[in-house]
Structure 1
Amino acid sequence: MNKPNDEQGWHMEHPLSVLIVEDSDSDAELMVRQLRQAGIEFTHERVDTAAAMSAALKNRAWNVVLSDYRLPSFNAGEALAMVRDSGLDIPFIVVSGVIEESKAVELMRSGAHDYLMKSNLSRLAPAVKRELAEAHERHEHRVAQKELRLRVLENEKVQAALRAALEEQRESAAQIRRLNTAYATLSQTNEAIVRMGNREELFDRICRIAVDTGGYLGAWIGLLDDDGKTLAPVARAGSLDDYVASLRISADPGDAAGRGPAATAVREGKPCYSNDFLNDPSTAPWHEQARAFGFRSAAALPLTRRNFVVGTLCLYAAETGVFDGQTRDLLVEMARDVSFALENFDREALRRQAESDMRESERLFRSVVEQNIAAIFMIDDGRIVFANPRTSEILGYTPGELNGRIALELVAEADREDVGRMLQAVASGQVKVIERNISGLHKDGSLVDIGARATLAILDNKPMILAVAQDIGERKKAQEEIQRYVSRLEQAMMTTVEAVSTMVELRDPYTAGHERRVGELAAALGSEMGLPEETITGLSMTGYVHDIGKISIPAEILSKPGRLTAIEYELVKNHSRSGYDILKSVEFPWPLAEIILQHHERMDGSGYPQQLKGEQIILEARIMAVADVVESMASHRPYRPALGLDKALEEIEKNSGRLYDPQVADACLRLFRQRSYRIPD
């Protein structure tokens, strides 16, 4: 239904809507013809009763009404009253065959705009055009008067609003300047975190950034002493050096020196602000110094390491009220980033220790190799590139004589072809290990019965064959030596993987233990499915690092207690690809990177990030998906309490075959319901 015309003016270039109040089709057609001959574009409707006219006025917008004076059931006066009662200001022109002049004058006084005789319809088009133009002028005049009244009535309100808007604009501009400064400070802090190599350099740089970029009078970082009773400044910048040097801050709330912002932030583990320092009772011990050094507000933000408060970052400003809501949020983020950097330094120390341990392990390996009772060779492209001294005792050649020699020349003719195929299979990766007894060829031409074992190893990032040969009688002892070395390597690798897992948990403390539990559950599922021991070990190892990609997600998103926004959820979903990118170039005997990339894929293609389906998803990733879902649903999360094991198993059972591999789902249900498996603490 169209809304009736109200205050809108019409221009002649638009098609008009003409309402004709006439009981004669022929008379109405004459009017229509006159208007069309005058070049007026229009649509029209003819009505001949009051009810029809009332409906027409409600259902459509009209620009002009042409009305006969007398109709069988009503007349032009009644039609005019209906137009007037509807509130429309549109031309009403009476077109009649016979009308007394007094009646016509009465209609004009009642609001009709013109009248003309049907015998003189040549006047119709000019009258319509004239009245439409006058109606438009009346409309414009009313609009102008209305606007003038509004201006007069609202002048004081507008002025007041303008004053308020200007004040708000000034406040907003000041806030924007503060936020821009805070953002720049945060950005430079993050750059410093990336570039600084140690804690001392980082602390000095952060204090300098707070003063030079943040515009604060002073900044200092303090750390708790070993007994946790005193907070001592370790870095500072700005014009408050003498003030900071004089500080004695206690962690004891019973001590007046322990009730200020810095000690409160450390003790309570949350930011403490004093936006009116001189009128804050808790800062009374430092009021005199604040007046002397010119600061009027202060902020103290706790610094943490491994979820324990270890110190504080303190900032001082010359104005009151500086630390408002959004500025506080950015400063909290800055403190979190610094805390994360402290944990990074710890992790870097662990990494360096791991590297040192690895170098020591390599030294021990070389010592073991050189002093081993077995002959040990490294073979590259079929030639010996390393041999230990034991080769002289077993085969008669010194290591120098063997360097560059074709390895198969040390094998008796009868075994040479067979051994060559085996070495090629190892070099190509078709088999990982070969082990057999062969006849070796001594330097003096005699045959030596030896036990030989060959596998692929990485030396200087290049794959080579590691071959061990020994007298059959000494074989067991040599194997034990090698096994001890392999165990050390495996332990070193496991230690590294656990360190990586710990690093992820530090970013997301609310899911601490999640990766370990997922790894153990995945290994249990692999065992229940009868998979090889090597695959089961790979599942356990992958579990420890399957969420390593979360280190690319801001910590505040990982620990957010409420529902994630769409953008935050997309960031979280990217963690599987980030984890893949981190580990794809690392050499493992298992497809760790692929498992991490695919562990959120689902059998029906509804997962991410590649929307793989069915057998496109590797088996280990299908197992990891079930283990991850069960452990996650059974455990507490920042955004919800634990749903419980029963709910988790119900999810797996309900979506077996659609989301989850049915064989893996069946193994999971057997494991818990028949084997009474329990998720480890």
Structure 2
Amino acid sequence: MPERIRVLHVEDNPDHALLIRRSLEREDDSLEITSAASAEEALGLLEENGFHVILSDYALGSGMSGLDFLRAVRDRGHDIPFVILTGQGNEEVASEALRMGANDYIIKRSGLLQFKRVALTIRNQRETFRARREKEEVEARYRHLVENVNAGIALARGDRFVYVNPKLCEILGYSAEELTSRPFLDFVAPASRETVAERYRKRQAGEELPSTYDVWALHKDGREICLELTASVIRDSEGISTLAVLREVTRERETERRAQRMEETLDLVFRQAGEAIFIHDLEGRIIEANPAASRLTGYTREELCSMRVQDLHVPEEREFSENKLASARLDGLFGFVGTGRCKDGTIKRCAVTTSLVRMGERTLVLSLVKEVPERMTSHEEEWVAAAVDARLKAALEKAPMVAVQAYDRQGRVTYWNRASEELYGFAREEAMGKTLYQLILEAAEAEGFLQELRRVWESCTPAPGREWLTRDREGNRRWVYSTIVPVVQGEECV
């Protein structure tokens, strides 16, 4: 069903008003005409009723003229379509009406065609107004989204930004005026400038390119920050533009690089270690073995990764091996001396240290194995078992780039390795017995750390890895990635 278009018609001659109303409603039965005899009356009706279009005669008797009425309507903030009727020879009046904000004018003529034209003009004005209003609402919603989204957004045309949202200003530290007044490459770090310029040119030329990539940008304070940029091309009546969505990922990328460096370092230690290292699951299935493990057992890495650690024990110690695996599930870090059979049948006595480790969502067992003299007294075996129990701690002490600390229930330091000394500048003797608030964390971070530590003590399960903002002895700040892991003996955290 067609929309009813409510028209406010202003005409001081009642006969003319009646004729126009009947003729227009006959031409278009969706028009609903309300007549007013003066501009003053029309203003009162306008405030009380939801009209869609105003149709006003220019000459309205002794009161306000049609132009006065138009001015009053616009002064009151109404943007309703306004069509003015003028007589022959009043083209100057029509021109003035358009200048003052009228949407259209019609010069009065006789005949039925006159009413057809007026009815068509009213409908066109209503449809144009409605389309414009819907477009404005869509643009307003889009602008609200763009200006409040938690990502920087920029629209580039030519060599400059023509629009930037508040979040991008926050990310880069510049005002919108500063960002739009200079070539956008001025805000790109030198190392990324050539890449950005080349991809911008190729994308606008229509070439297929990855839509998302990292760029380094210049913050107003002089820092270089990493941004994840997602770009797309927009073609419209104004030409070709590029829409860029930018998210700061500096900390994420630095964390990824540190994790990669640590992984590479640990992999190097794993590959070059003189002692055999096995990583296996809680059922004994071997997942990884280093070259020293192959040298010790005579099996290749591929062969070892198809076996269980129980397969490496002599048959009479299989049950012993199963019991040790069960102990690993409860006790975590411990050592023992056992007997193994190599690929060529050789029998070897070995000292073994095991520890539970988390890899992603999995709990695995890390075993360090070292051959020991074949004949040992029970006292010597106990001594070796205690010694191998300390080897993992010694490895942590020597591990490069891995700062390890231990804490009691009150958050006081009970262990502080050499890497911690190098990272923060506090000697072990200085750190022991102190809280991290006294050493490397501000109050808010220290409270958050203590809460995480309490949760670990209570649940006896590792805390998820996260970043902490720390300070060293000189007050220099740095972000570190850390995981809090419980040490379990029996069924208790120690």
Please indicate, yes or no, whether the TM-score normalized by the shorter chain is above 0.5: no
Bigger radius of gyration among the two: 1
Greater helix percent: which structure?
Answer: 1
Q: Which has the higher strand share?
A: 2
TM-score, with structure 1 as normaliser: 0.24
